[in-house]
């Protein structure tokens, strides 16, 4: 089940975000060490933008957040627990963001994916995202390049 994270669940969101950063440090603009040192106010602030989790029973298997940026819904912080990958969890999380974009009247959803993160890129492509040609250094490791991808929200039903 994919559902929106409630404000009072910020500690659980912190837990899954730290799991994500530990599991895939090459994929995110924040490092695990930096995130661990953040005060509670930082974690409360993370929920100033919408976040969703993939939940099975009481266990959170994945997460995603979205931020309105440059006239689009910008998908951020996406991660799926290794044991839940290739089972549709990632696509479900993406669908939540795309639906939010539609509900907000935004024309597109964008994201950045680090070079070498082939599994994430494959899920994004399966969801209909295409490479925009834009590149930038990954904030947590400028030696890594990340590429922007975009999905026009009217292109999926």
The CA-atom distances, in angstroms, between 83 and each of 52, 63, 80, 126, 128 are: 18, 14, 8, 20, 24
Reported as a pLDDT band with limits 50, 70 and 90, residue 19 is: very high
Q: What is the pLDDT of residue 70?
A: 78
CA nearest to 4, candidates 100, 78, 71, 69: 100
| DSSP label of 106 | -
CATH number of 2-155: 3.40.630.30
Residue range 125-142: average pLDDT?
A: 92
The residues with which 149 forms a beta bridge, in sequence order, are: 111, 131
Ramachandran assignment for 62, one of left (phi > 0), alpha (psi -120 to 50 degrees), beta (any other): beta
Higher pLDDT among residues 25 and 151, named by residue: 151
Compute the distance between CA of residue 64 and CA of residue 93 in angstroms, rounded to an integer.
6
Domain spans, the chain = 2-155
Reported as a pLDDT band with limits 50, 70 and 90, residue 154 is: low
Reported as a pLDDT band with limits 50, 70 and 90, residue 69 is: confident
User: Percent of the chain scored above 70 by pLDDT?
Assistant: 97
Question: Per-residue pLDDT for 157 more than 50?
Answer: no
Compute the distance between CA of residue 84 and CA of residue 98 in angstroms, rounded to an integer.
21
Reported as a pLDDT band with limits 50, 70 and 90, residue 126 is: very high
What does pTM read for this prediction?
0.91
**85-120 pLDDT per residue, tens:** 999 999 999 999 999 999 999 999 999 999 989 999
């Amino acid at each position: 089940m994919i559902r929106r994270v409630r404000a009072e669940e910020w500690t659980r969101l912190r837990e899954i975000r730290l799991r994500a950063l530990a599991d895939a440090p090459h994929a995110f603009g924040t490092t695990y060490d930096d995130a661990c040192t953040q005060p509670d106010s930082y974690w409360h602030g993370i929920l100033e933008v919408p976040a969703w989790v993939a939940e099975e029973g009481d266990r959170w298997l994945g997460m995603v957040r979205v931020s309105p940026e440059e006239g689009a819904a910008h998908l951020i912080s996406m991660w799926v627990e290794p044991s839940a990958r290739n089972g549709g969890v990632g696509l479900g999380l993406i669908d939540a963001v795309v639906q939010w974009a539609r509900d907000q009247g935004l024309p597109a959803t964008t994201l950045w994916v680090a070079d070498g993160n082939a599994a994430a890129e494959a899920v994004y492509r399966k969801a209909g995202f295409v490479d925009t040609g834009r590149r930038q250094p990954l904030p947590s490791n400028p030696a890594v390049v990340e590429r922007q991808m975009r999905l026009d929200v009217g292109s999926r039903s």
